A = this chain, B = another copy of it.
Amino acid sequence: MNANFSKNSLKHQIAQQIKKSIFEGKLEQGEKITELQVAQDLGVSRTSVREAMLLLELEGLLISEPYKDTRVTTISQEEVLELLIPMRLHIETYALKKGFDTWGDETNEQFKLILENMRKAIHYEDYPTFIDLDIQLHELIVMSSKLDNVIRIWESIVHRIRLHFLYQNSKSGTLEKWLVDHEELIDILINGKSLELAVESLRKHIIDTNIPDVYLLD
């Protein structure tokens, strides 16, 4: 019984649309979002939007109280650094251990494609796209575990991390550094024969790319 990736139901599509609006900056932190408005915009019923918004609430992207309005979650940097990143680290290394053996040429091609697109994004200084690609990379690792529960838990935290990076203003110098980081990681994931090496690289990568400069002494 392998994982079910067919998230094509209407509620998932709607959730995807709302996510897109958030990640493209059309919806900002704390901004109100109403069921009726979304329903009319997308031409679907409120019921489906309701379910989609419930999904997003449980992924931590929206927050709501009974009978009161629903808003885009406000992200706390402290929570991201102290709680979400360490958890992400654990989930992804676990997923890597479970999925590493199943990787083939196809997986490698996907890694290379992501890296290629990253280079383009850097060239055009397209920060949001770069973040999107970073998420895609890690998603590929998590998905390869084919473990539903692992995927679900990962999704329940990664979107808030993504939001954190989106709202963080990036310094252009950092982007170059990130590209190199990702190049190194992907190189090891593709060519490295050893699981242990891959795990250690992933761990180092997450720590390096997530802990902000402020925390780096010297």
A-B contact pairs, 10 of them (CB 8 A): A4-B65, A9-B66, A54-B55, A55-B58, A58-B152, A58-B156, A83-B90, A83-B153, A86-B90, A149-B160
Question: Pick the contact of A91 from B58, B83, B152 — CB < 8 Å?
Answer: B83
Question: Pick the contact of A47 from B47, B87, B91 — CB < 8 Å?
Answer: B47
Complex CA gap A73/B1 in Å reads 12
Smallest CB-CB separation from A63: which chain B residue?
A: B148
A50 at the interface (CB under 8 A from B): yes
Chain B residues contacting A58 (CB-CB under 8 Å) are 55, 58, 152, 156
Complex CA gap A6/B67 in Å reads 12
List the 8 shortest-distance A-B pairs measured between CB atoms, nearest first: A58-B58, A9-B66, A83-B94, A4-B65, A156-B156, A60-B149, A86-B90, A87-B87
Chain B residues contacting A4 (CB-CB under 8 Å) are 65
A38 at the interface (CB under 8 A from B): no
A41 at the interface (CB under 8 A from B): no
- A147 contacts B79, C-beta separation under 8 Å: yes
Residues of A within 8 A of B (CB): 4, 6, 8-9, 47, 50-51, 54-55, 58, 60, 63, 65-66, 73, 79, 82-83, 86-87, 90-91, 94, 147-150, 152-153, 156-157, 160
Copy total for this chain: 2
Chain B residues contacting A65 (CB-CB under 8 Å) are 4, 6
A73-B149, A79-B149, A83-B149 given; 18 more Cβ-contact pairs under 8 Å: A4-B65, A6-B65, A8-B66, A51-B54, A54-B54, A54-B55, A58-B152, A58-B156, A60-B149, A60-B153, A79-B150, A83-B90, A83-B153, A86-B90, A87-B90, A152-B156, A153-B157, A156-B156
Complex CA gap A104/B83 in Å reads 25
Complex CA gap A51/B52 in Å reads 10
Complex CA gap A4/B57 in Å reads 13
Complex CA gap A60/B47 in Å reads 23
Complex CA gap A51/B149 in Å reads 19
